[in-house]
Amino acid sequence: MDDFYRELIIDRYKNPQMRGELDPHDYSYEDDNPLCGDEIRIDLRVDADGLITEAAFTGKGCAISLASADLLVESIVGKTLDEIKTLSKDDITEMLGIELGPVRLKCALLSLKVLKAGVYGLDELEEELMI
């Protein structure tokens, strides 16, 4: 088979590093993909300089959506909110290390969508996604 369900994805799916809730938190947002009922919630703690000090996610979904949530949330700790603005589709597929078709891309980007919508709007991201 193709290297799609790469060990990384299956591994992150089975043993997520960043699963959990933060209480209290500075930002918390959740959204879903009505096509399949997947849901992701992301909680953030942010310091006075806008630096993300802690992050966690909960939710349900396919291996792609949960693995990318786990990887994304891990990658943003230590980043500023401004840096999140520049995260794109390509950053996610790079983390996953695979090419994705339009429907799977939507799974992979659910967590990014949640993150951006929680912190800013998400107009450009919506434009980028064809579906």
Binding to another protein (CB under 8 A) within 47-86 occurs at: 61-65
Give the integer Cα–Cα distance in Å for 16 and 19: 6
The neighbour count for residue 97, using CB atoms within 10 Å, is 12
Helix (H) or strand (E) holding 91, with range, is helix 89-96
CB nearer to another protein: pick between 62 and 87: 62
- Binding of residue 34 to another protein (CB under 8 A): yes
Site string for another protein, 102-121 (x = CB under 8 A): xxx--x--------------
- Binding of residue 14 to another protein (CB under 8 A): yes
